[in-house]
Structure 1
Amino acid sequence: MRLYSMPSSGNSYKLRLLLAFLGREVEMVDVEAGSAALASAKAEGRLPFGKAPVLELPDGRLLPESNAILCWLGEGTRFVPADPLEQAEMLGWMFWEQNSHEGVIAVRAALRCYPHRRAEATPDRMAALLEAGHGLLAIMERRLAGRDWLVGAGPSLADICLYAYTHSAGSRGGFEMERFPHVRDWLDRVAALPGYKGLHD
C-alpha cells in the first residue's frame, strides 16, 4: 500500500498514528502543501478529492478521506469496539471531528502556522475561532470526565481521530489547554500507548 500523506496535517497524521499502533508498514509519499510532490500527485490523478491523505491499495484503487481510511485500516483490530452501539458511538465522534472540531481547531492552527494562510487570519476571525474551539474542547472535557477513553473501555478509532488535531491545539492553535485537564490527561494516555509516534516522528 502507498499513503499520500501531508506531513504537517492532522488528517494525515491520524493514519500514520494508527499504522504505528498496528505495526503496519506502508510506502509513504509526502505531499506537503505547496510542494512539487503535491502538484505531481494531483496531476497524476492520485488525489481524487484534490487533497491528502489518500491510501493507494496494491491493486491501484484509491481510498480518500482520512476517517474512511481509518475505518478501513481499523476493521477487525482492537481499535474498533465489538459492541454495535459502541461502534456507532465511535463513528459519531469521528463524524463530529470532521463536521465540527476540525473546521475550527485545525483551521485556527493553519491560519497561525501556514504562511500562505496568514492573510485570512483577521483579528475577528481568530477571536471567533478561539471562542468556538474552546466550546468544542469543553464538549470533550465533559465526555472525558470520569472516563479514560471517548468510547468504551479502551482506545478506539475515535480517540486516534480526535487526538490528531487536539494534541497540538495549544501549541499550534493557541487554545488554552490548561482549561481542560481531562482532555490533557487523555492526550497523555494516547501518547503512552505502545507504538506511539508523534506528528514529526
Structure 2
Amino acid sequence: MQIYGDSISGNCLKVKWAADHLGLAYDWIETDVLKAETRTPAFLALNPAGQVPAVILDDGRPLAQSNAILLHLAEGSDLIPADAYLRARMLEWMFWEQYSHEPYVAVARFQVRYLGKPVSSLDPKLVERGNGALKRLEDGLSGGGFLVGQRVSLADIALVAYTRSAHEGGFDLALYPSVQAWVKRVETALKIA
C-alpha cells in the first residue's frame, strides 16, 4: 500500500497512526501541500479532489478522505467496536470531527503556524467555534477513558490528530483538562510522540 500524505496534516497523520497501530505495511509518499504537490496532473489523476491523504491499496485501487481510509484499514480490527451502538457512536464522533472540529481547530492552526497569521487576526467566529468544539470534546470525555468505551477506537484517532496540536492555532488546552488527559491516553495507546 502507498499512502500519499503531508506530515504537517493531522488528516494524513491519523491514517499513518492507524496503519502503524494495525501493523500494516505501507510506503509513505510525502506530498507537500504548501508546494502544491497535490495539484500536479499526476496527483490529480490519483485523486481528482487534489487532497491528501490518498492511498493506493495493495490491489491498485485508490481511496481518499481520511475517515473513509481509516474505516477501510481498520475493518475487522479492535479499532472498530463490535457492538452496533458503540460502532454508531464511533461514527458519530468521526462525522462530527470533519464537520464541527477540523474546520475550526485545523484551519486556525494552519493559518497561524503555516501562513504566519497572528492569533489576534483570526476570524473571531473561527476561534469561537474552535473553542466550542474543544468544549464539546471536553464534555464528551468528562468520564475519562476514550470517546467510545474504555479502549481506543477510530473516533479517538480521528479527533486526536488536530486536538493535540490545537495550541498551534492559539487554543489553550489548559482550559480542557479532560481533553489533555485523553490526548496522553491516545498517544500512549497508539505509541505516538
TM tier, smaller = over 0.9
CA distance 1:138–1:27, shift in 2 (3 Å)? same
Hey, which bits of structure 1, 4+ residues long, moved more than 2 A? 34-44, 121-124
- Structure 1 residue 65, shift from structure 2 partner: 0.2
Contact 2:37 2:43 in 1 (8 A): no
Which one-letter code corresponds to 1:187 in the other structure? V
For residues 161-200 of structure 1, the aligned pairs below 5 Å read: 161-170=158-167, 172-193=168-189, 195-198=190-193
Which one-letter code corresponds to 2:172 in the other structure? E
User: Where does residue 103 of structure 1 map in the other structure?
Assistant: 103
CA distance in 1: counterparts of 2:82 and 2:27, whole angstroms: 30
Q: Report the TM-score when normalising by structure 2.
A: 0.92
For residues 1-201 of structure 1, the aligned pairs below 5 Å read: 1-35=1-35, 37-40=37-40, 42-43=42-43, 45-115=45-115, 118=117, 123=121, 125=123, 127-170=124-167, 172-193=168-189, 195-198=190-193
Give the unaligned 5+ runs of structure 2: none
Contact 1:20 1:197 in 2 (8 A): no
Contact 2:146 2:156 in 1 (8 A): yes
Contact 2:38 2:44 in 1 (8 A): no
Which one-letter code corresponds to 2:121 in the other structure? P
| Identity in percent | 38
Q: Report the TM-score when normalising by structure 1.
A: 0.89
- Structure 1 residue 186, shift from structure 2 partner: 0.2
SS in 2 for 1:192: helix
Contact 2:144 2:182 in 1 (8 A): no
Task: Pick 1 or 2: higher relative contact order, CA cutoff 8 A, min separation 6.
Answer: 1
CA distance in 2: counterparts of 1:123 and 1:7, whole angstroms: 26
Structure that is richer in helix per residue: 2
Q: Which string of whole-angstrom CA distances, capped at 9 and with x for unpartnered residues, describes residues 138-165 of structure 1?
A: 1111111113110122110000000000
CA distance in 2: counterparts of 1:132 and 1:103, whole angstroms: 9
CA distance 1:70–1:112, shift in 2 (3 Å)? same
Give the unaligned 5+ runs of structure 1: none
Equivalent residues, number: 193
- Structure 1 residue 118, shift from structure 2 partner: 4.3
